[in-house]
Amino acid sequence: MGELFDTRFRTDDTPMTRAELAQAIDACDVLVPTVTDHIDAELFAGASDRLQLIASFGSGVDHIDLRAARAKGVIVTNTPGVLTEDTADMTMALILSVPRRLAEGEKLVRSGTWAGWSPSGMLGHRIGGKRLGIIGMGRIGQAVARRAAAFGLSISYHNRHRLPEAVERETGALWHPDLDVLLETSDIISVNCPLNDDSRGMIDARRIGLIEPSAYFINTSRAEITDESALVDALAAGKIAGAGLDVYAHEPAVDQRLLSLSNVVLLPHVGSATIEGRDATGAKVIANIRTWVDGHRPPDQVLEGWV
């Protein structure tokens, strides 16, 4: 970007403060934020008319008030697709890790208290033959389904719309129009839908209560889709067997109760953290900006369906 445009960089790898964001959007034609840079209606209202494009670095856009952007006449783009395989890999890693207690086992070895193999030591559950329920069957959900099928899981999914028959056949997935039924009948639940007005708080305390005590809960999407407090209560009470989490309601702060639970695998929001993925994301950002500069509609413009 430095070679192509008059660019000002933030070299500190931390979220911009609100004051810094306000200053940036008032002084630039194009802003390139990340998921930790929250741009709300108040910031848009204070921005000069110079701001015309927000080329977000990442696929999620829940950190940007899209309605306010549209009202201001600002185009918003994202980088869909480039992080699909990386996030699906991490989701599958958690699907394997939690039932087989891999994190617990690693900590046991490091503690120096491991007494060696025993017939009943560190018993977990096999995943072959289990029922995987995927919430959100977009690019990432479908990639998770393909991986899970190779491990012998039977796959069901909940989506706003049913997938074409060819996609269902390729992924071996069964559509559940009723989310409650999916939660009641799944051995492992994976949240892979984007955060928007429809999904925010979708997995509330009532729905968490539908999950079987023997089931596992995986979330590599956004914490706000789930009532985190209710989830922690269920895990602590043994009403859910375990969880694998890559996202949290108040990042980087993590609920202290989660830290004390041995049946939860906690990751530091690294679902998309690969060198290849970051490079591809940057390339998409530049492609969106260059297309816009050339007077054309950017290929990854976020449309009204996201709102």
Domain of residue 179 covers 84-266
Q: What is the pLDDT of residue 304?
A: 58
State whether 77 and 188 are in the same domain: no
Please give the Cα distance from 295 to 61 (Å, whole number). Answer: 23
Q: What is the pLDDT of residue 205?
A: 98
Residue 6 lies in a domain: no
Residue 120 lies in a domain: yes
State whether 95 and 242 are in the same domain: yes
State whether 188 and 299 are in the same domain: no
State whether 282 and 235 are in the same domain: no
Q: Which of 251, 290, 296, 304 is catalytic?
A: 251
Q: What is the pLDDT of residue 48?
A: 87
State whether 127 and 220 are in the same domain: yes
Residue 7 lies in a domain: no
Q: What is the pLDDT of residue 12?
A: 86
Residue 1 lies in a domain: no
Q: Which of 222, 250, 278, 297 is catalytic?
A: 222
Torsion (CA) 215, 220, 226, 227 in degrees, nearest 10: 90
State whether 192 and 61 are in the same domain: no
Please give the tally of structural domains in the chain: 2
State whether 152 and 294 are in the same domain: no
Residue 254 lies in a domain: yes
State whether 29 and 162 are in the same domain: no
State whether 96 and 72 are in the same domain: no
Q: Which of 70, 100, 269, 278 is catalytic?
A: 269
CB 77 within 8 A of CB 57: no
Q: Going along 178-248, which residue ranges are E strands?
A: 188-191, 216-219, 242-245
Residue 235 lies in a domain: yes
State whether 251 and 283 are in the same domain: no
Residue 140 lies in a domain: yes
184 is catalytic: no
Residue 239 lies in a domain: yes
Q: What is the pLDDT of residue 149?
A: 96
Residue 38 CB burial class (10 angstroms; 0-12, 13-18, ≥19): middle
Averaged pLDDT in 10-residue chunks for the chain of 307 residues: 92 89 92 94 92 95 94 95 96 98 96 96 96 97 97 96 94 95 98 93 98 98 97 97 97 95 96 96 97 96 66
State whether 95 and 209 are in the same domain: yes
State whether 154 and 232 are in the same domain: yes
The two counts, helices (H) then strands (E), for the chain are: 12, 10
Q: Going along 63-112, which residue ranges are E strands?
A: 75-77
Q: What is the pLDDT of residue 186?
A: 98
269 is catalytic: yes
What is the CATH number for 282? 3.40.50.720
